[in-house]
Amino acid sequence: MSVPSGVGGAPSKPVLRVEGLGKRYGSRHALRDVSFAVQAGELVAVIGPNGAGKTTLLSILAGVQPPSAGTVNRAAGEIGWVPQRPALYSKLSVVENLRLFARLEKVSDPEAVLGRMLDQTGLADRADERVDRLSGGNRQRVNVALGLLADPPVIVLDEPSSSLDPGQRERLWLFIGELAARGTSVVFSTHIVGEAERYAQRVVVLDEGNLLFAGSPEELARAGDGDGDFEQAFVSFLRKRESAYPEGTT
């Protein structure tokens, strides 16, 4: 797996490093010894079956809950969090939501941040519109904007395109890609594995809390057997792992 280079061709220092992350709920392991790193401006997809530990991993990165083991090299305030369900006040306007959350985040210059967020999200012309009157795609843009208020170097998004129609998904991913192009690292979970192939530079595969794979979509496709179909290759890869490590022994 290639590593982005820094000045003089030296490997760049990751902006996010996760080492040996684990999470237990009583006797149940939701995560076991998960380690990976993220470079500046990189899009990393976290995929896996239902119950694989995707949301648990992202919520730990965002500081929503603590790990039982392992470390994350950044404090929670340095990682933006975008949960699957938008944390928006539907009766307030776009700008009122942003202003409220900017104050809750104790942003030093809320009004300057509001202007930047409206510009980045392309919602300046909807600033005074109530959130409950926005399309699903525009509501999700506002949701992402909340995670960016503190200008974090890393943002994590849990199933950002769920419940959106194809056109809304396309516009959302264009927006997320623009964030990465400006240097923000993006870690996202998705149950639409084609999004991982299309938008991510690297893929992290979880199953029953275990890290099965971390590499490029092309490497994952080669590790499976999909005859050019990424989703089939992903399913084939999981089946191979189940055969090699029966009864959850991975």
Per-domain boundaries in the chain: 13-244
List the chain residues with pLDDT less than 70: 1-11, 243-250
Quick one: pLDDT at residue 11?
Answer: 52
Q: What is the pLDDT of residue 243?
A: 58
In angstroms, the Cα distances linking 224 to 54, 152, 174, 195, 200 are 21, 35, 28, 17, 18
pTM: 0.86
Confirm if 111 and 145 have CB atoms less than 8 A apart.
no
From 131, 132, 187, select the one nearest 160 (Cα to Cα): 187
Pinpoint the alpha helices (H) of 70-135: 94-104, 110-121
pLDDT attached to residue 250: 41
- Rg (the chain; Cα; Å): 19
AA identity, residue 207: D
CB 95 within 8 A of CB 119: no
What CATH code is assigned to 13-244? 3.40.50.300
